[in-house]
């Protein structure tokens, strides 16, 4: 079946380094992707999104890259801080007529060491 998944379940980095979290998707009809951050004890929180007609989008300290040829998505975090430690999920929106159904990957645990 269609799925959205992550290559690496855990990532440890030093404070100040750049982090790259990867995600593979299998639904070639996917048209919209979101990265979420989930801190311990909280619900997922929106970080950044990208549409399928784009290959790069930048936010504050974060960049999302989309490679539709290989169905790959990545989240880059610049100058990673201890507060960035969390689980990161990529999610795909499947549009059924006008509905937005989110399908999530398994998540990557990012640990930032001071």
- The binding site for another protein (CB under 8 A) comprises 31-32, 34, 36, 41-46, 49, 51, 89, 91, 93, 95-96, 98-107
DSSP lists the bridge partners of residue 92 as 33, 103
Nearer to another protein, 15 or 52 (CB): 52
Nearer to another protein, 15 or 49 (CB): 49
Sign of torsion over alpha carbons 36, 72, 80, 105: positive
Residue 91 CB, shortest distance to another protein, in Å, is 8
CB 64 within 8 A of CB 74: yes
* DSSP helix/strand/coil, 82: helix
Q: Write down the least CB distance from residue 5 to another protein, Å.
A: 9
């Amino acid at each position: 079946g269609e799925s959205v998944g992550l290559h690496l379940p855990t990532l440890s980095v030093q404070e100040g380094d750049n982090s790259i979290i990867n995600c593979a998707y299998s639904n070639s009809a996917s048209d919209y992707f979101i990265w979420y951050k989930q801190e311990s004890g909280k619900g997922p929180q929106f970080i950044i999104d990208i549409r399928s007609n784009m290959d790069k989008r930048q936010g504050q300290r974060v960049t999302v890259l989309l490679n539709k040829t290989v169905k790959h998505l990545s989240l880059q975090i610049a100058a990673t801080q201890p507060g960035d430690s969390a689980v990161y999920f990529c999610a795909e929106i499947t549009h059924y007529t006008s509905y937005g159904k989110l399908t999530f990957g398994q998540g990557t645990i990012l640990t930032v060491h001071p």
